[in-house]
């Protein structure tokens, strides 16, 4: 009998990021056979209201009741731990965690931990994220005490990020390479030693564009790695 823990995924936030996360769980696992992969329950709940609109006060539709219901459903179905492949949704992290009796992996904490470990010289770290994540201050909250200074996008860059995330990736359109690379450059020009893709749609864009720069930290990839390990799987050597 397989003794690996079962991962529960609150997906649909957004759907393409969820699909990429599922693909990462498979591709990043060092497996020689089906049974070497982790077990996962993925609920692609696209009915979760928009997180950024709620945080910014542009919508009265609260995502929290839907996400807590999803978390309880996954727990009841047998999930041993839960992941939410959406950075902005971590505005509600404490409440989601309190709603279930199993651990909820924190994508922001894990991404900051990974950044500090792999790029210890990167004191100033740029944040590419939705306006909801920036307004919530989630990365700054969890960066406290880590020695990492989170650099938010300026107003113009924030607008460009929202267009890239909502106008292209969530809309099912191809990523804009020039736009993506230009945004990254603005952070390096401001003295950042690393840039975090703090929105899982940006992770989708980075994979589509073949972005391969160790200074660009992919939060979705970090989450996949952590979930594989926590569920008893072995992470494939990234150099292989």
Confirm whether 240 is domain-assigned.
no
* CATH number, domain containing residue 144: 3.40.50.1860
Q: What is the pLDDT of residues 136-191, one digit of tens each?
A: 999 999 999 899 999 999 999 999 999 999 999 999 999 999 999 999 999 999 99
Using the predicted structure, report yes or no on whether residue 39 has a pLDDT greater than 50: yes
Structure tokens at 72: 């309880």
pLDDT of residue 12: 95
Question: pLDDT band for position 2 (50/70/90)?
Answer: low
Confirm whether 195 is domain-assigned.
yes
pLDDT of residue 238: 59
Q: What is the pLDDT of residues 41-71, one digit of tens each?
A: 999 999 999 999 999 999 999 999 999 999 9
Structure tokens at 21: 């996360």
Which of the 8 DSSP states describes residue 166? I
Residue 109: HSE in the Cβ half-sphere, 13 Å Cα cutoff: 10
In DSSP terms, 10 is beta-bridged to 43
Shared domain check, 122 and 56? no
Structure tokens at 58: 């542009």
Shared domain check, 184 and 86? no
Shared domain check, 158 and 135? yes
| Phi, psi angles (nearest 5°) of residue 127 | -120, 115
Catalytic site residue from 86, 192, 227, 231: 86
Domain boundaries, position 135: 107-219
Q: In what order do the strands lie in the sheet with 81-83?
A: 39-44, 6-11, 81-83
Q: What is the pLDDT of residues 212-233, one digit of tens each?
A: 999 999 999 999 999 999 999 9
* The length of the chain, given as a count of residues: 240
Shared domain check, 145 and 76? no
pTM score over 0.75? yes
Report the number of distinct structural domains present in the chain.
Answer: 2
Shared domain check, 164 and 113? yes
Q: How far apart are CA 33 and CA 73, in angstroms?
A: 29
Shared domain check, 168 and 140? yes
Shared domain check, 125 and 71? no
Using the CB atoms, write b or e for 70-102: b if 16+ within 10 Å. bbbbbbeeebbbbbbbbbbbbbbbeebbebbeb
Confirm whether 95 is domain-assigned.
yes
Catalytic site residue from 192, 199, 227, 231: 199
Q: How far apart are CA 23 and CA 8, in angstroms?
A: 15
Shared domain check, 149 and 99? no
Higher pLDDT, 23 or 3: 23
- The dihedral over CA atoms of 147, 161, 26, 78, expressed in degrees to the nearest 10, equals 80
Q: What is the pLDDT of residues 88-115, one digit of tens each?
A: 999 999 999 999 999 999 999 999 999 9
Q: What percent of the chain has pLDDT over 70?
A: 98
Shared domain check, 182 and 126? yes
Question: Whole-number mean pLDDT of the chain?
Answer: 95
Taking CA atoms, 51 is separated from 41, 198, 207, in Å, by 22, 14, 23
Whether the Cβ atoms of residue 11 and residue 45 lie closer than 8 Å to each other: yes
- Is 86 catalytic? The answer is yes
Question: pLDDT band for position 4 (50/70/90)?
Answer: confident
């Amino acid at each position: 009998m397989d003794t690996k823990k079962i991962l529960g995924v609150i997906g649909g936030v957004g759907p393409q990021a969820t699909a990429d996360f599922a693909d990462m769980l498979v591709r990043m696992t060092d497996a020689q056979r089906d049974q070497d992969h982790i077990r996962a329950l993925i609920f692609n709940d696209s009915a979760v209201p928009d997180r950024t609109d709620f945080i910014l006060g542009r919508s009265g539709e609260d995502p929290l009741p839907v996400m807590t219901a999803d978390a309880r459903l996954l727990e009841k179905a047998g999930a041993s731990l839960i992941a939410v492949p959406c950075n902005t949704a971590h505005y509600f992290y404490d409440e989601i965690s309190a709603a279930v009796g199993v651990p909820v992996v924190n994508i922001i904490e894990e991404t900051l931990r990974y950044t500090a470990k792999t790029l210890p010289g990167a004191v100033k770290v740029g944040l590419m994220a939705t306006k909801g994540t920036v307004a919530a201050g989630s990365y700054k909250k969890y960066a406290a005490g880590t020695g990492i200074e989170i650099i938010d996008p300026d107003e113009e860059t924030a607008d460009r990020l929202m267009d890239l995330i909502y106008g292209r990736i969530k809309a099912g359109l191809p990523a804009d390479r020039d736009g993506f690379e230009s945004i990254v450059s603005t952070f390096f020009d401001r003295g950042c030693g690393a840039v975090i893709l703090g929105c899982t749609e940006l992770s989708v864009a980075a994979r589509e564009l073949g972005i391969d720069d160790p200074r660009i930290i992919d939060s979705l990839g970090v989450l996949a790695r952590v979930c594989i390990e926590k569920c008893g799987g072995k992470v494939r050597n990234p150099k292989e």
